[in-house]
Amino acid sequence: MKTNQEVQIRDPFVYVDQEEGKYYLFGSTDKNIWGKGTGFDVYIGDDLENWDGPYPVFRPDNHFYSDENFWAPEVHQYKGMYYMFATFLRKDNGKRGTAILKSDSLTGPFQPHSEGPVTPKDWYSLDGTLHIDDEGKPWMVFCHEWVQVGDGEICAQQLSEDLKKTIGEPITLFSASEAPWPTSFKHKKRNTQENYVTDGPYVYRAENGELLMLWASFVDNVYAQGISRSTTGEVTGPWTHDKEPLFSSDGGHGMLFKNLENNLMLTLHSPNKTPNERPIFIEMEETGGVIKRRDSHESKTNS
């Protein structure tokens, strides 16, 4: 059994099994995610504080298309099976991309489902997430990395019904600099260019019907989390952006979920520094599509 303070994890993703009364915590679980990849693990708990595990859910074989940068696994149930969207550094061209793996169990083993990453082969891409639109069509929302385009982008691309491949061309939804809250930085090797990061998109349908997107960037070189909104309710947008970040205390790459008591929760990792990153769980409240920390509301009420 491990507490949150004993779990080193980046990019936490929680799958809630209401029938079993359990939480399944996935994420980037290699001790050093910046190098050689071991695989992905899952932690299992019933209170978002104490966890059994880690249990291995994916380990690559010798023929796998990547051996480093195993990042950001998300697990979604779709048509009776479990699909893992995860980022890998390709062996064939040294670029990152999101691939899709499959299992009949939340505890794996997950096996390759798509033929390598489904993001564009010549792009640096990462952090693909699944979105099912109102017509039941699957989409992948992902990031076109700042390391390639300077001003990081969030894109969407339709998936085939069996989630094995993409359909059509990717659609750029917005660039990081279009939102008012991220700030730019100059990379040591790219000191003539202002760079903006997009990271970890997660699509959430609000109770009022709005389609929201949670995503991460940086504010004055500090990792932060913000929210954007589709003006049409469709993943293709157009998208507008909340003025202030949702979380700006050196944490990000988060997702929203309802806990076993049906309360809205935000999870993300913080601090954003290896090996100190830990899963953080924050109770949220939602009013008319506006999402805020519940404790901040209570502090104002009690003051």
Distance CA 204, CA 264 (A): 11
Residues 85, 129 contacting (CB under 8 angstroms): yes
294 by DSSP, 3-state: which?
helix
Confidence (pLDDT) at 186: 74
Lowest mean pLDDT among 36-50, 180-194, 268-282: 180-194
* Helix (H) or strand (E) segment spanning residue 266: strand 264-270
Question: Whose structure tokens read 């949220």?
Answer: 284
Alpha helix (H) residue ranges in 31-153 = 146-149
Query: Where do the DSSP E strands lie in 59-137?
Result: 71-78, 81-89, 96-103, 111-112, 125-132
Share of the chain above pLDDT 70, in %: 95
Hey, what are 198's tokens?
């997009």
Average pLDDT over residues 35-56: 97
Average pLDDT over residues 219-235: 97
Q: Whole-number mean pLDDT of the chain?
A: 95
Average pLDDT over residues 180-193: 79
Hey, what are 225's tokens?
């989390």
Q: What is the largest CA-CA distance in the chain?
A: 60
Hey, what are 226's tokens?
């913000």
Distance CA 238, CA 267 (A): 26
* Nearest 10 degrees: Cα torsion 16, 17, 20, 25: -50
Confidence (pLDDT) at 296: 60
Amino acid symbol at 76: H
Confidence (pLDDT) at 300: 38
Confidence (pLDDT) at 297: 46
Fold classification of 71-302 (topology level): Tachylectin-2; Chain A (2.115.10)
Average pLDDT over residues 268-289: 97
Cis amide bond preceding 279, omega within 30: no
pLDDT value at 191 more than 60: no
Q: What letters, b where the CB count within 10 A reaches 16 and e where it falls short, cover 210-235?
A: bbbbbbbbbbeeebbbbbbbbeeeeb
Average pLDDT over residues 197-222: 97
Confidence (pLDDT) at 143: 98
Average pLDDT over residues 255-269: 98
Reported as a single tens digit per residue, the pLDDT across 80-130 is 999 999 999 999 999 999 999 999 999 999 999 999 999 999 999 999 999
Confidence (pLDDT) at 257: 98
Reported as a single tens digit per residue, the pLDDT across 116-128 is 999 999 999 999 9
pLDDT band for position 223 (50/70/90)?
very high
Confidence (pLDDT) at 301: 32
pLDDT band for position 188 (50/70/90)?
low
Distance CA 132, CA 233 (A): 12
Confidence (pLDDT) at 303: 32
pTM to 2 decimals? 0.95
